[in-house]
Amino acid sequence: MTTVRQAAPAAIERVTIELGERSYPIVIGPGLLGDTAAVQSLVTARDLLIVTNETVAPLYLEAAQRALGPGRRTSTVVLPDGETYKTLESVSRIFDALVDARLNRDAAVVALGGGVIGDMAGFAAACYQRGIDYVQMPTTLLAQVDSSVGGKTAVNHPQGKNLIGAFHQPRCVIADTRTLDTLPVREYRAGLAEVVKYGLIYDAAFFEWLDAHAEALVQREDAAVMRAIRRSCEIKAQIVAEDEREHGLRAILNLGHTFGHAIETATGYGEWLHGEAVAAGMVLAADLSTRLGWLPAADRDRAVRLLERFGLPVAAPRIGATQARELMGMDKKVLGGRLRLVLLRSLGAAEVVADYDADALREVLEAHFG
């Protein structure tokens, strides 16, 4: 008798975003795009527009089409790759494709790619015929731990990141962790910046775990990567369920982002990856938190060291404190003329603060931006 050795079934993790009747699952696992039954049970619309880009299409478009199954009417739009194309013009191309395919309100958009594709496809879905469904199929680490989850969609304006957008939750998130195998190392590291963010803002024990498993994560060991993605999604799910529209708590997800957006805008979108700018931005936020007497210097230094071990930039570009402050003024966290900042009360606890010492901010900007 021949013994057929069967591989153990790959672990599939499921996290739910609890938003009443708009609740949805995040399904995470290696090889999900090859699991036709799983994908078909998650995606119910018959008419679909897959939005992807010219880098991701040759890698995963065929697998996504196969997984979605033959019994549907599926069109595709392939956009140019890059943050510089995260524009209204690109979204307009998605609208054209929706109209050309005569898609109606019961159709759904499928975002196959990283955060740039997810943000644009989601925004197009939010607007087309006043809102149709969409599904996230994130293929970067950053998209799997952050941008595909939570319903923020947007495009950039030349004067500011993500200035034009909408809240629109996806129907589900299908994160095939095998797609990370083809992700360039710089992009993978950029995703790790957002993973570190979750530890810093919400979960000191997760930060400790990241510190202890940094090498396994750098080596992209399956078990460590799965755990990091699942815990990141759990934390984001809890925060979004509590404050979907960012009236308060959700803003802590933007640790380092106000500084980071200034870096991205000043250097021209695309030169610094979003995750890299967030890493350098988190160093500024941690440093300001320390100067204000909140975060012990030793914890700030641990955060900086972990980012360094992940190969992330911890020094901001010398764009000048004045320009940086000006660009930060375009951030969506300005309220009543006052720039609110996400700062760390301690490792694992963030707060949105408006009444910080303005001199301390100026000192930090001068120290890091020149």
Q: Nearest-CA neighbor of 169 among 274, 358, 26?
A: 26
* Identified binder of ligand NAD from the candidate list 133, 146, 246, 276, rule CB under 6 A: 146
Pairing of the two strands 47-53 and 24-29? unpaired
The answer to whether residue 150 forms part of the interface with ligand GLY (CB under 6 A) is yes
Q: Nearest-CA neighbor of 340 among 349, 328, 348?
A: 328
156 is catalytic: no
261 is catalytic: yes
* Identified binder of ligand GLY from the candidate list 133, 146, 176, 244, rule CB under 6 A: 146
- Would you give the DSSP letter of residue 145? I
Site residues for ligand NAD, 18-77, by CB under 6 A, read 53, 55-56, 59
Q: Which two tokens stand for residue 41?
A: 């049970």
Q: Which does 86 bind (CB under 5 to 8 A by kind): ligand NAD, ligand GLY, none?
A: ligand NAD
CB of 267 to ligand GLY, least distance (A): 20
CB of 272 to ligand NAD, least distance (A): 11
The answer to whether residue 152 forms part of the interface with ligand GLY (CB under 6 A) is yes
Name the H helices within the chain. 36-42, 56, 62-68, 88-100, 115-127, 141-142, 185-202, 204-212, 214-218, 222-242, 257-267, 274-291, 297-309, 321-328, 358-369
Q: Which two tokens stand for residue 51?
A: 């939005």
The answer to whether residue 86 forms part of the interface with ligand NAD (CB under 6 A) is yes
Burial status of residue 308 (CB atoms within 10 A of its CB: 0-12, 13-18, 19 or more): middle
The answer to whether residue 260 forms part of the interface with ligand NAD (CB under 6 A) is no
332 is catalytic: no
Q: Which two tokens stand for residue 64?
A: 């996504």
Binding site for ligand GLY (CB under 6 A): 146, 150, 152, 250, 253-254
Binding site for ligand NAD (CB under 6 A): 53, 55-56, 59, 81, 83, 86, 113-117, 119, 139-140, 142-143, 146-147, 150, 152, 161-162, 179, 182-183, 187, 190, 274-275
Active-site annotation, residues: 130, 152, 194, 236, 246, 250, 254, 257, 261, 274
